[in-house]
Amino acid sequence: MSSEPPLHPTSGLPLAGHPLVARHGSATRTSVRVGDQFVGAGTFTLIAGPCAVETPEQVAAACEAAVAAGATMLRGDLYKHRSSPYSFQGLGREGVEIVAEQRRRSGLPWVAEVLDPAHLEVVADVVDVLRVGARNMQNFELLKECAKSGKPVMLKRGLAATIEEWLLAAEYVADSGSLDIILCERGIRTFEPSTRNTLDLSAVPVVQARSHLPVIVDPSHGTGSRNLVAPMALAAVAAGADGVMIDVHADPASARCDGPQALLPDEIVALGAKLSELGRWMGRTRVCA
Ligand code: PEP
Ligand code: MN
């Protein structure tokens, strides 16, 4: 009997670890196509917008600032995965028209979280990148359904997931037929209470060495504090991230979700300019609106 591991049926790669998302030898890193743009090696993508879709005016103000900052993708969730059942859970179906309007107006792709396979039908016409949140990183049935949707999947790192577990979760998406996967580092839980999470920027070069997939950073959820978002976003570029995703709110005090970490319009515009400058200095082509 051979001691060789069995082979993956379609790729022919050994079925050990995460063969489909692994970076084999010096193989180049892949880019994920979203509309007419690419997220991946050599580029830097800014994704920005509100944490949650609340009202047409709130979404419009955040998106206007995101576009002015040079964002080429917008974010804003219809479904929120909250730790408390009493916190705002998102507008769900009621928010679809708000997203549709901003997507039409900006012409930019929309990134939003799905919590359940049933949400895929609700967001089908308005969401371009399906985000699987930290709390669902190992919800494998959800990952399989997202993979089959034909849309790119953004996979956030779990609250306490190792990089290996994160890549294995990505392998579920790949094994279900889609390599259009964008990994997102969003901080992990450690003993340190000074920040909402501990943003693991070393995960960026570690993942890029082990996997060909693009990896972006979310400094908003990674830190939980407005004043920490810009320094960590710039550090993410320096660490080699393929992009950042940032929360924006024009009136954070009234936000129904994550106000303390949202950048104000003028702050995201100022940060967008610095990200471009640093990205250029590092030899990256900024994906610009
Ligand atoms: C979010 O991006 O709004 C979010 C809920 O993030 P996470 O899943 O990383 O907590
Ligand atoms: Mn949030």
d(Cα 257, Cα 51) in Å, to the nearest integer? Answer: 7
Q: Which of 101, 92, 87 is CA-nearest to residue 58?
A: 101
Q: Where are the domains of the chain?
A: 31-281
Q: Return the number of other C-beta atoms located less than 10 Å from residue 141's C-beta.
A: 10
CA distance linking residue 267 with residue 62, whole number of Å: 11
Give the global pTM: 0.95
What number does the ligand 1 atom closest to the CA of 136 have? 8
The alpha carbon of 282 and the centre of ligand 2 are apart by a number of angstroms equal to 29
**Which pLDDT value is given to residue 232?**
98
Phi, psi of 191 (to 5 degrees): -80, -5
Residues flanking ligand 1, CB < 6 Å:
51, 77, 81, 133-135, 156, 186, 218, 221
What is the DSSP secondary-structure string of 67-98?
A: HHTT-SEEE-BSS---SSTTS----GGGGHHH
CATH code, 31-281: 3.20.20.70
When pLDDT is cut at 50, 70 and 90, the band that residue 122 belongs to is very high
Compute, in angstroms, the gap from residue 111 CA to the centroid of ligand 1: 12
Tell how far CA 194 is from the center of its chain. Answer: 23
Q: Which residues surround ligand 2, an ion (CB under 5 A)?
A: 51, 258
Mean pLDDT across the chain: 95
Q: What is the DSSP letter of 84?
A: S
The CA-based dihedral angle spanning residues 287, 33, 138, 20, taken in that order and rounded to the nearest 10 degrees: -120
* Strand, coil or helix: 287: strand
Q: Please give the distance, rounded to the nearest whole angstrom, from the Cα atom of residue 7 to the centre of ligand 2.
A: 40
Check if the beta carbon of residue 267 is closer than 8 Å to that of residue 226: yes
CA of 147 to the centre of ligand 1 (A): 19
Which ligand gives the minimal distance to the CA of 158? 1
pLDDT at 189 over 90: yes
Q: How confident is the model at residue 287 (pLDDT cuts 50, 70, 90)?
A: low
Retrieve residue 21's tokens: 């998302």
Ranking 29-33, 192-196, 197-201, 281-285 by mean pLDDT, the lowest is 281-285
- Residue 245: in which H helix or E strand, if any? strand 243-247
CA of 80, closest atom in ligand 1:
5
- Ligand 2 center to residue 237 CA distance, Å? 21
Count of CB atoms situated within 10 Å of the CB of 80: 20
Look up residue 261 and give its two tokens: 């970490």
* 55 band by pLDDT with thresholds 50, 70 and 90: very high
Backbone angles phi, psi at 276, to 5 degrees: -60, -45
Nearest Cα to 65, choosing from 271, 288, 285?
271
